[in-house]
């Protein structure tokens, strides 16, 4: 196999690094979820953890915030582990923005994998089918989902979102714990992923909505140097979240997932033009 060299080689290796991290976390979560199922029937694989999916989801901490601050308890099925993951997630987001979404979240990874099939089918039309005006409004729908989930969890003390959560469904397909509506939503997300990149992340993910806020003040940000930019638009085309990178100096869009696809390391053809850095920099 011919080894890529130069700029293309750097980009290829950068993409591979992210995909390897994504795949590793996907496999890890799938194994833990499978082992949780096996543990319930006494067939647990030793060493491998067998926590429930709720226990290893940082969003469980987010939905428990109100209950925890009012009576010191967590929503049903969530535990201290969710709380710890939430704070780790917040710390990482404060540094790097929603890197959890772009690098770790197994459901984001799953959507990307399905999207690869969509790219082959749709070719250049892939991820470009939703009218801009509609898309712009829909991007805020996930804050509505977030508000509903946090409110309902606080009111009932139960994980109301689990029934609808396609991430929970995906990793519990074999358990019989999934509600019909969960299967329906997962199927819809899979179908949408064939035409839109990461549709659940863009329009419905409540945890992505929380982490997206960190883009407004994250320490490391994606910055574009207008002085060296050649306006080729490759940064815009490479962005899975359809962010207009070429139009701004610093990316503060709440939808950025810190995948670094737009940077000079990956897609931008000019060195040191779109960079991920702390401190000053980035002028439009």
Partner 1 sequence: MNLRMNTRVLAPLLPVLFLGGIAIAAILGGWVTESSKVPKKLSEGEFAGEYDPGDIRGSYTFGEIEEIFAVPASVLAQAYGFTGRDDPAAIQAKALEEIYDAQPIERDIGTDSIRWFVALYTGLPYIPEEDTGLPASAVEILRERGSVDAAGWLDVERAAVEFGASVDGDAASAPATDEPPSAPAAATDAPQSAPEVETSSGTGTGTGSGNYTDDERLIKGRTTFGELLAWGVSQEQIEAVLGMPAGSRGTSMRDYFADAGVEFSLFKTGLQELVDAAR
- In the complex, which residues of this chain contact partner 1 (CB under 8 A)? 13-14, 17-18, 20-21, 24-25, 40-42, 49, 51-52, 55-56, 67, 70-71, 73-76, 79-81, 84-85, 87-88, 91-92, 96, 99, 103-104, 152, 154-163, 176-179, 182, 220, 260, 263, 265-266, 275-281
Shortest Å distance, C-beta 204 to partner 1 = 16
Shortest Å distance, C-beta 133 to partner 1 = 33
Shortest Å distance, C-beta 222 to partner 1 = 10
Shortest Å distance, C-beta 248 to partner 1 = 18
Distance from C-alpha of 35 to C-alpha of 224, rounded to nearest angstrom: 45
Shortest Å distance, C-beta 60 to partner 1 = 11
**Dihedral (CA of 68, 74, 75, 78) sign:** positive
162 or 189: CB nearest partner 1: 162
Shortest Å distance, C-beta 105 to partner 1 = 11
135 or 163: CB nearest partner 1: 163
Contact 104, 88 (CB under 8 A): no
User: CA nearest 235: which of 208, 265, 209?
Assistant: 265
Contact 272, 225 (CB under 8 A): yes
Q: Within a 10 A sphere around the Cβ of 252, how many other Cβ atoms?
A: 15
67 or 193: CB nearest partner 1: 67
Contact 111, 31 (CB under 8 A): no
User: CA nearest 209: which of 275, 154, 141, 266?
Assistant: 141
Q: Within a 10 A sphere around the Cβ of 271, how many other Cβ atoms?
A: 12
Tally of CA atoms within 13 A in the half-sphere of 122 that contains its CB = 19
Shortest Å distance, C-beta 196 to partner 1 = 25
154 or 209: CB nearest partner 1: 154
Shortest Å distance, C-beta 159 to partner 1 = 5
91 or 144: CB nearest partner 1: 91
Phi and psi (nearest 5°) for 241?
Answer: -100, 10
Structure tokens, 131: 């009218």
User: CA nearest 77: which of 87, 89, 67, 92?
Assistant: 67
Distance from C-alpha of 232 to C-alpha of 167, rounded to nearest angstrom: 36
10 or 122: CB nearest partner 1: 10
Q: Within a 10 A sphere around the Cβ of 189, how many other Cβ atoms?
A: 24
94 or 129: CB nearest partner 1: 94
106 or 118: CB nearest partner 1: 106
Distance from C-alpha of 63 to C-alpha of 160, rounded to nearest angstrom: 10
């Amino acid at each position: 196999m011919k080894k890529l060299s130069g700029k293309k080689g750097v980009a290829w290796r950068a993409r591979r690094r992210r995909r390897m991290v994504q795949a590793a976390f996907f496999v890890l979560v799938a194994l833990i979820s499978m082992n949780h199922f096996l543990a319930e029937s006494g067939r647990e694989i030793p060493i491998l953890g067998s926590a429930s999916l709720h226990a290893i989801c940082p969003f469980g901490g987010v939905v428990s915030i109100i209950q925890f601050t009012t009576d010191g308890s967590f929503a049903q099925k969530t535990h201290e582990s969710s709380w710890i993951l939430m704070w780790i997630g917040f710390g990482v987001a404060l540094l790097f923005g929603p890197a959890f979404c772009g690098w770790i979240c197994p459901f984001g990874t799953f959507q990307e994998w399905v999207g690869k099939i969509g790219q082959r089918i749709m070719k250049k039309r892939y991820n470009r089918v939703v009218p801009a005006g509609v898309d712009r409004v829909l991007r805020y729908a996930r804050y509505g989902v977030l508000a509903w989930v946090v409110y309902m969890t606080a009111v009932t003390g139960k994980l109301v979102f689990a029934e609808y959560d396609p991430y929970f469904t995906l990793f519990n397909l074999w358990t019989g714990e999934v509600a019909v509506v969960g299967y329906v939503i997962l199927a819809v997300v899979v179908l949408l992923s064939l035409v839109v990149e990461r549709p659940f992340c863009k329009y419905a993910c409540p945890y992505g909505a929380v982490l997206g806020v960190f883009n407004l003040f994250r320490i490391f940000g994606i910055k574009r140097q207008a002085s060296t930019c050649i306006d080729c638009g490759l940064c815009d085309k490479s962005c899975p979240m359809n962010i207009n990178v070429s139009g701004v100096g610093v990316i503060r869009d709440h939808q950025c997932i810190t995948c670094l696809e737009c940077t000079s390391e990956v897609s931008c053809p000019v060195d040191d033009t779109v960079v991920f850095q702390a401190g000053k920099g980035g002028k439009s």
